[in-house]
Structure 1
Amino acid sequence: MSTRAPSLIAPAGTDPAPALTRATQPRYRASNAAVPYAFLAPAILLFVAFLAAPIFYSLYLSFRAAKVKGLGLGSGSRTEQWVGMENYVRSVADPEFLASVGRVALYGLIVVPTMLGLALLFALLLDSGRTRVGGFSRTAIFLPYAVPAVVASLLWGFLYLPRVSPVVDVLGLVGVSAPNVMSSQLIMFAVANIAVWGGTGFNMIVLYTALKSIPSDIYEAARLDGASDVQIALRIKIPIVVPSMIMTFVFSLIATLQVFAEPMTLRPLSNTISTTWTPLMKVYRDAFVRNDVYSAAATSVLIALATFVLSFGFLKLVGSRAFNQEK
């Protein structure tokens, strides 16, 4: 009687290693689940190192202060102590901080409506089929946004100075005296003009993109009903792009509360801009001129809280109504 060795070839139609597959399946699932986190790890590390950690460290510093013993000489003469809310109380009660908040509020009342109004106007003109504007016009309106704020401030500062401004020379040829926009009465409008010039293009692109997403059938139906271009803009286009306008308003509000580059760049050109002209300029002065990082940290936390409250408060107030229109 002959004996045969067991066949090493599995019958056709059967899995050659089902037990191996079942055994390694949990390990494969664990490795596959870790793949997205491996891709996210660099971004998470950068976020923690350069954004989250500085925020928490600033919050930590805002509750502390340096105490000096004697003349402040020696290794143990300067110590750091916990002071609680003392830095916040001093920041809120500081007249310079309150004055800077008032200037930023006035600055926002000038910049935000003007910038968003011009952005909406340009977007409607670009979207109008009867207006002869093309790619060059879009580029010309958007181009100032690509100019850094410091460079834009230097360019406009050159135009503002009466002694070197070509605008003053041209107006002088026709017998018109140019106003001194760097004076204390007009410096607010000088700074606001730079922000409007640089930010209108970005907001225009956002609104123009929202207008291009509107189906053309709506316009055709409105024209069949006898609606003019102005009526289409007021009754169809503007209501539909309200969510985009809210988004641009929030972005503009955040940028207004954080204004720093424009007045800081113009300050050496005029004596009408103080070192605490805006809240962020006060933070810079306290941290790098007076070497009081604790007070600067408290003021920066207050600015961050104000930005958060105003932004999310505005979205909570009008966002639900506006975004429900899309449903």
Structure 2
Amino acid sequence: MTGWAFVTPFAVLFSFCFLVPIGVSIHSSFYRAVPSGGGLYGGGELTNQFVGLRNYVEIAQGAAFWRGMGRVLAFGLVQVPVMIGAALALALLLDSQMVRRVGIFRLGFFLPFAVPGVVAALMWTYMYNPQFSPINQVLGAVGLHIPFFAPKVVLWSMANMTTWTFTGYNMLIFLAALQAIPHDLYEAARIDGATGWTIVRRIKIPLVRNATLLAVLLSIIGTVQLFNEPAVLQTVNPWMGNDYTPMMMAYNTMMGAISPSGDGPASAISILMALIAGVLAVIYALAQKKAD
């Protein structure tokens, strides 16, 4: 009874803040708001009508959802490995004996994650602006110019933004795993003649596989939910449209900017996104387990 008493507050909050919204979203995805009145133009108030799997079918058959999903998958295939590699490199650097005042560097690397996502997106939008981009002003001195808002470049502009934001967060995951490794292993390896690079390759990196799994799984979920960066960039690049990513499509469907609109179709988009993210996470977890 004591154990259940300690668990109960968490279980109640978890149910109301996580399980109940998921259940409501699944239930809502089977309904659609339709006019209750008759006549050629409908009329009357909107009422929720049960439509079964119609919302799912229409979304799955539409090209917009899969174009958006293709963009975020291409984004993730490039951005996630770069970010995870950079986070691991920073963690290994801070865990080594090369860096003094580790706390200052650790805080500095983590600070971008503390910046609210929309604020960070606005900041980078300013730095990408072709009229007064400080980045292109520096590159212009050597004759280079990057069209950050060009259709073939904007996705990678967003990748730079998310890498800047989340590298420090993932670094802390790796750093915690590295600091949990018994230092006796390092001492034994040095006695056997292992160099620092050998210890990194043969001890440190293999023993942070679980941390890598966690970081990649969180990154996969975050990639599918990409929203802040494209939503902000879309305000200065209207050509991106309201359905550039699946998350933007879900939001704009809910707000009535995309037809059919309403919480039913938006919930169906969200459930499809969750299923795809779950499948990708399972595939990665199984692939890493097989590699081990």
- Asked if Structure 1 and Structure 2 have the same fold, meaning a TM-score greater than 0.5 normalized by the shorter chain, the answer is yes
My pick for the range that moved more, 94-103 or 42-51, is 42-51
Cα distance between partner residues in 2 of 1:43 and 1:232: 41
Deviation of 1:274 (Å): 2.0
Q: Hey, what's the Cα distance between the residues in 1 that align with 2:152 and 2:83?
A: 21
Residue 307 of structure 1 aligns to which amino acid in structure 2? A
Instruction: Provide the rounded CA distance (Å) in 2 between the counterparts of 1:93 and 1:233.
Output: 48
Paired with 1:163 and 1:239, the residues of 2 have a C-alpha distance of 47
Residue number in structure 1 paired with 2:92: 124
What does the per-residue CA deviation read over 1:92-146, in whole Å, with 9 as the maximum and x for residues that have no partner?
0111001001001001012110000001111111112135563222221111111
Equivalence for 2:107:
139
Q: Which residue of 1 aligns with 2:79?
A: 111
Q: Percent identity?
A: 37
Among 12, 25, 42, which residue is 1:72 paired with?
A: 42
User: 2:149 matched to 1:149?
Assistant: no
Helix, strand or coil at the partner of 1:176: coil
How do residues 20-39 of structure 1 correspond to structure 2 at under 5 angstroms?
Answer: 33=1
Judge which range, 162-171 or 105-114, deviates more.
Answer: 162-171
SS in 1 for 2:194: coil
Unaligned stretches of 5+ residues in structure 2:
none
| Aligned counterparts, 1:1-327, within 5 A | 33=1, 42-68=9-35, 69-70=38-39, 71-75=41-45, 78-131=46-99, 134-172=102-140, 174-290=141-257, 291-319=261-289
Q: 1:126, 1:133 within 8 Å by CA — same for their partners in 2? A: no
Counterparts of 2:10 and 2:185 in 1: how far apart (Å)? 43
Deviations for 1:181-230, whole angstroms, at most 9, x for unmatched residues?
Answer: 11111101100111111111011111111111222221122222222211
C-alpha deviation, 1:61, in angstroms:
1.8
Which range is displaced more, 290-299 or 157-166? 290-299
1:92 is paired with a residue of what secondary structure? Answer: helix
Displacement of 1:45 after TM fit? 4.1
CA deviations on 1:34-64 (whole Å, 9 max, x unpaired) are x665665554444333332322222122112
Partners of 2:23 and 2:185 in 1: CA distance: 50
* Length, aligned pairs only: 286
- Kindly provide the amino acid, as one letter, of the partner of residue 208 in structure 1: L
SS in 1 for 2:158: helix
Q: Distance in 2 between matches of 1:131 and 1:103?
A: 39
Q: Supply the AA of the counterpart residue of 2:124.
A: W
Give the direction of change, closer, same or farther, for the CA distance of 1:103–1:230 in structure 2 (3 Å limit).
same
Deviations 1:232-286 (A, max 9, x none): 1111110011111111111111111111111111211223422111101101111
Deviation at 1:293, TM superposition (A): 2.1
Instruction: Tell me, in whole angstroms, the C-alpha distance in 1 between the residues paired with 2:18 and 2:28.
Output: 16
**Structure 1 length-normalised TM:** 0.80
- For the structure 1 residues 227 and 183, does the alpha-carbon distance in structure 2 shift closer, same or farther, using more than 3 Å as the test? same
Tell whether the 8 Å contact from 1:211 to 1:241 is kept in structure 2 after alignment.
yes
| 1:61-90 deviation digits (Å, cap 9, x = unpaired) | 211223443222235xx4432221111110
Q: 8 Å contact 1:243–1:319 — kept in the other structure?
A: no
Give the gaps of 5 or more residues in structure 1: 1-32, 323-327
